Amino acid sequence: MRFYSQQHKFYCGIDLHTRVMYVCITDGAGKILVHKNLRSNPDSFARVIEPYREDLVVAVECVFVWYWLADVCAQLGVKFVLGHALYMKAIHGGKVKNDRIDSEKIAQLLRSGMLPQAYAYPESMRSTRDLLRRRMYLVRRQAELQAHIQNTRHQYNLPAYEKRLDRAVNREGIADHFEDSMVAASIQVDSNLLDSLHRQILFIEQLIGEKAHEQDPVAVQLLRTIPGIGKILALTVIYEIGDITRFSQVGNFISYARLVKCAHESAGKKVVGRNNKIGNAHLKWAFSEAACLFLRESDQAKAWHQKLISKYGKGKALSIIAQRLGRTTYTMLKRRTVFDHEAFFASLN
């Protein structure tokens, strides 16, 4: 957990919503100078902070509408801080809660140096990362449609399809397998949606590939030297990380990627496994996928996997491999080096 501790002359806490935002501005002594409800638009925000822009810091909780506010602050030359929603217990745990109270709490936490920070993702990479996440959503919808076709086949006890359904050519005439016209129509709808989704996914991949080549082509190529990691996994890792230098130690990175469970200790008693959802779910998915693909590509990894299974069980064995790949990724991106197969397995002994 990181706290924003820099000192300023004025502090602004905002309880931000889609249509309105409650703004609270205080001075260094905690005296409230502005406390009002405004429309959520750049002009209203710029007008209310204008008298205090000389040395002002603005903080808002990490909600989905924070992008525009961060961009406006950058244009106005005002410091912007993004508060970590899951750590801001002082806001969510109050007996009385409303926008007016929440905005003041954010301002006072900011003034006291106790505002837990989240990473404000840079504007230059933000839209590409969101498009990559949209691709992941579409891929999951693809999988759901394919599963529905297979489940329908099981319902009517039909023989297995001879070829994979993820290719359009293999889905030609698939609705003809079903005698009932309503069932056939349902399957045809699934097939049509799969065709459309596939075209959109290819379109997204082309755009992201071109953009990644412009921004940092070397990083993607470095990660692709890891056995099993292809273009999409490499792009996911790169864009979910943003700037690897924001992690001072490898432990900070693997914690952010949800690759380690942190212990809670009090009076000598330890509890493991709480707050496991704090971190980046997309990086957790990427390294979990990479672990499975790594086993497919490396015989040494398979032998190591068997040793881990005999000691920890299958589930934890995969988690250990994913964490090791996360550590390796951190080192590779920090040092700008390719994957060293021999050094990787030598470090396990």
Strands 20-27 and 32-39 turn out to be antiparallel
Please count the other Cβ atoms lying within 10 Å of the Cβ belonging to residue 31.
Answer: 8
Is the confidence at residue 156, as pLDDT, over 80? yes
Q: 157-205: per-residue pLDDT in tens? A: 988 888 888 888 888 888 888 989 999 999 999 999 999 999 999 999 9
Is the confidence at residue 90, as pLDDT, over 70? no
For the chain, what is the mean pLDDT?
91
- Please state the pTM of the whole predicted model: 0.85
* Mean pLDDT of the 57-64 span: 93
Phi (first) and psi of residue 108, to 5 degrees: -70, -35
Amino acid at 29: A
- Name, in order, each residue with C-beta under 8 angstroms of 290's C-beta and a sequence gap of 6 or more: 226, 228, 229, 233, 322, 325
Is the confidence at residue 66, as pLDDT, over 80? yes
**∠ CA(52), CA(58), CA(64), 5° rounding?**
145
- How do the domains of the chain map onto residue ranges? 3-116, 125-215, 223-346
Query: Looking at 88-97, 244-253, 275-284, which range is the least confident one?
Result: 88-97
CATH architecture of the domain 3-116 equals: 2-Layer Sandwich (3.30)
**pLDDT at residue 78, rounded to an integer:** 95
Is the confidence at residue 319, as pLDDT, over 70? yes
